[in-house]
A = this chain, B = another copy of it.
Amino acid sequence: MMRTRPLKVALLGCGVVGSEVARIMTTHADDLAARIGAPVELAGVAVRRPDKVRAGIPAELLTTDATALVKRGDIDVVVEVIGGIEPARTLITTAFEHGASVVSANKALLAQDGASLYAAAEQHGQDLYYEAAVAGAIPLIRPLRESLAGDKINRVMGIVNGTTNFILDKMDTSGAGYSEALDEATALGYAEADPTADVEAFDAAAKAAILAGIAFHTRVRLDDVYREGMTEVTAADFASAKQMGCTIKLLAICERAADGESVTARVHPAMIPLSHPLASVREAYNAVFVEAEAAGRLMFYGPGAGGSPTASAVLGDIVAVCRNRLNEATGPGESAYTQLPVSPMGDVVTRYHISLDVADKPGVLAQVATVFAEHGVSIDTVRQQGKDGEASLVVVTHRAPDAALSGTVEALRKLDTVRGVASIMRVEGE
C-alpha cells in the first residue's frame, strides 16, 4: 500500500552529518520507501554557503533562508543538524507551528530547552525525536524511552564523549600526559580546534541531563548536572589507577537515590576497575551501562560520533516519524511525570581515591585516619610509601556522601603533616 505523495524532508545544516543524511536518503531511497510505506524525498536544504558544491544535492534544493524553508507548510519532517541554541530553537518551534515534525541531533538545545520543545511539539501535534543527540549511532534514547518503558531504571552510567575517551585511552596505553594526548586527538580530527566543550565536559553534561530526564521520567536541567572536566587528569593518576587494577574514564552518571525520592546527575573523571565492561571501551567509542530493576544490567556500545553513525541515528528517527505520520499518530512525548528533585553533588554517594604527600614520621597515619573518622568516612585501603623524610599516602575510601568526602579532603589539607594533596579521584563501578 504505497501512497503516491512522497513525504518531504527539510534539512537544516549540511555539514558532516547533514551531507551524510542527504547522501543516504538518495542512495537508499528505495529501501527507505519500503520501510516507511511511502517514498521520502529531500525537499530543501538550508545552508550558510549556497555556492559551495555539494555532491549529490541538486543546487535548486539549497537555500540560505532556513526560516522560509520550515514555514513552507508542505514539509513533513525538519531535520535540525545545525547545533547550538539559536537559530536552532526558533527554527524548531517554527517548524512545529507549520505542521512539521522534527528530528534533531542537538544535545545542547535539548538539555537546555527540552521541556519547552516537547511542549511545542505536543501543542501542534508533532513529533520530536533526537536519537542522534546522545551517543551517536548507538540506539539509546529509543531503548530507554520505549524498550524499558515497563521497567524502573535506577542507574545510567556511561562514556558519552568520544573525544575525551580517545584522549584518556591514549594516556592509558602510551603513558602520555594530557596535552600530548590532546595534540594527537586534534591531529587525528577527534578533537576540535577549541576542545573546551569536550574536555571541560559541557558536551557530556548535556547528554547526562537528557539521559537522566528520560531514565527517571523527570526534568533534569543542564544546571542540575555536576560537571568536572578531565584536563587535570595526569599520567600519575593513571599510574595510581593501574596500581589499583583500574583505569580512568570520563563518566556521565545518573542515579536514583536509594529511597527513590530524588535523582542525581554528574559528569567527572573516575577510576573504574579493569574488569568493568566500560573499562575496555577504547578510542573514540561510546558505551552506556543501564541498570534497571527487572532487566538487570544492560550495556549499549558503538561509535559515539562521526558523520555516518550520527546520520544512521537521524535516519532511524526520520523513518519513525514518517511511519507515525502515515498512521496519523505521534510517538511518545515527554514523560516527566515523576517530578523528582535533583540532589546536589554533596548528596551523591561515591568513593574517593586520595593521594597525599605527607611528612615521613610516626603518627601521621593516625592523624590522617582520625580526620576520616571525624567526617564519618570509612577507609577501605591505605598504601604508604616513604622516601627521604617525605612519604606518600594513598587512601581509598568506602562509599560515603560526596560532601563528607570533600570535607575530609579540606580538613586533611589543614594538617601540618600533610604537605599536599597530590590527587583526588572518585572511584566507580563496583
Query: B residues within 8 A CB of A327?
Result: 327, 329-330
Q: List, in ascending order, chain B residues with CB within 8 A of A28's CB.
A: 150, 152
CB neighbours of A147 from chain B (8 A) = 131, 139, 142-143, 313, 316
> Is A244 located at the chain interface by the 8 A CB criterion?
no
A293-B27 Cα distance, complex, nearest whole Å: 12
Residues of chain B within 8 A of A306, CB atoms compared: 296
Distance (Å) between the CB of A162 and the closest chain B CB?
A: 12
Q: Nearest-CB distance from A95 to chain B (Å)?
A: 19
Could you tell me the distance between the alpha carbons of A20 and B32 in the complex, rounded to whole angstroms? Answer: 38
Q: Within the complex, which residue of B138, B143, B299 is in contact with A142, where a contact is CB–CB below 8 Å? A: B143
B294 touches A315 (CB 8 A): yes
* Smallest CB gap from A324: residue in B: B329
Query: With A and B bound together, what is the CA distance between A295 and B337 in angstroms?
Result: 33
Tell me if B314 and A150 are in contact (CB < 8 A): yes
A302 at the A/B interface (Cβ < 8 Å)? yes
Measured between beta carbons, the chain B residues less than 8 angstroms from A385 are none
Determine if B301 and A295 form an interchain contact, defined as CB atoms under 8 angstroms apart. no
Q: How far is the CA of A335 from the CA of B296 in the complex (A)?
A: 30
The answer to the question of A328 belonging to the interface, with a C-beta cut-off of 8 Å to chain B, is: yes
Q: Is A34 an interface residue (CB 8 A)?
A: yes
Q: When the two chains form their complex, are residues B150 and A315 in contact, meaning their CB atoms are under 8 A apart?
A: yes
Instruction: Tell me the complex Cα distance, A150–B151, Å.
Output: 27
Pairwise interchain contact A217-B34, C-beta atoms closer than 8 A: yes
Judge if A35 is at the interface, Cβ distance under 8 Å: yes
Binary CB contact string for chain A from 299 to 332 against chain B (1 if under 8 A, 0 otherwise): 1111100101101111111111001100111101
Count of identical protomers in the assembly: 2
Q: With an 8 A cutoff between CB atoms, is A15 at the interface?
A: no
Any chain B CB within 8 A of the CB of A277? Answer: yes
A140 CB, nearest partner CB in chain B, Å: 9
Q: Which of B298, B332, B337 contacts A137 (CB 8 A)?
A: B298
Across the interface, name the chain B residue whose C-beta is closest to A319: B149
Q: Which of B20, B150, B309, B315 contacts A312 (CB 8 A)?
A: B150
Task: Tell me, in angstroms, the Cα distance from A24 to B151 when the chains sit together.
Answer: 8
Contact bitstring A28-70, B, C-beta under 8 A = 1, else 0 = 1001101100000000000000000000000000000000000
A119 vs chain B, min Cβ distance (A): 14
Given that A143-B139, A302-B299, A329-B328 are known contacts, is A294 also in contact with B308, CB under 8 Å in the complex?
A: yes
A306 to B151, CA, bound (A): 15
Point out the residues of chain B lying under 8 angstroms from A332, CB to CB.
323
Does the CB pair A309–B295 fall under 8 Å?
A: yes
With A142-B142, A329-B329 already in contact, the answer to whether A150 and B294 are too (CB < 8 A) is no
Taking CB atoms, residues of chain B closer than 8 Å to A292 are 137, 312
Looking at the assembled complex, report how far the CB atom of A60 sits from the nearest CB atom of chain B, in whole angstroms.
24
Q: In the complex, A303→B291 CA distance in Å?
A: 11
Cβ contact of A151, chosen from B34, B295, B296, B315, cutoff 8 A: B315
Q: A146 in the interface, Cβ–Cβ < 8 Å? A: yes
Whether A150 and B318, one on each chain, are in contact in the complex, defined by CB atoms closer than 8 angstroms, is yes
Query: Once the chains bind, are B294 and A312 in contact (CB under 8 Å)?
Result: yes
The 4 closest A-B pairs by CB, nearest first: A150-B315, A139-B147, A137-B295, A139-B143
29 contacts between A and B (CB under 8 A): A20-B294, A24-B150, A28-B150, A28-B152, A34-B217, A35-B149, A35-B335, A137-B295, A137-B296, A139-B298, A142-B147, A143-B143, A146-B319, A147-B313, A147-B316, A148-B316, A150-B314, A150-B315, A151-B315, A292-B312, A293-B312, A295-B308, A296-B308, A297-B303, A298-B301, A299-B301, A300-B300, A300-B301, A329-B329
What would 17 more interface pairs be, CB under 8 Å, given A24-B150, A143-B147, A150-B315?
Answer: A20-B294, A24-B151, A31-B217, A35-B149, A35-B217, A35-B337, A131-B147, A138-B298, A139-B139, A143-B143, A148-B316, A150-B314, A295-B313, A297-B302, A299-B299, A327-B327, A328-B329
- Residues of chain A whose beta carbon lies under 8 Å from any beta carbon of chain B: 20, 24, 28, 31-32, 34-35, 131, 137-139, 142-143, 146-152, 217, 277, 280, 292-303, 306, 308-309, 311-320, 323-324, 327-330, 332, 335, 337-338
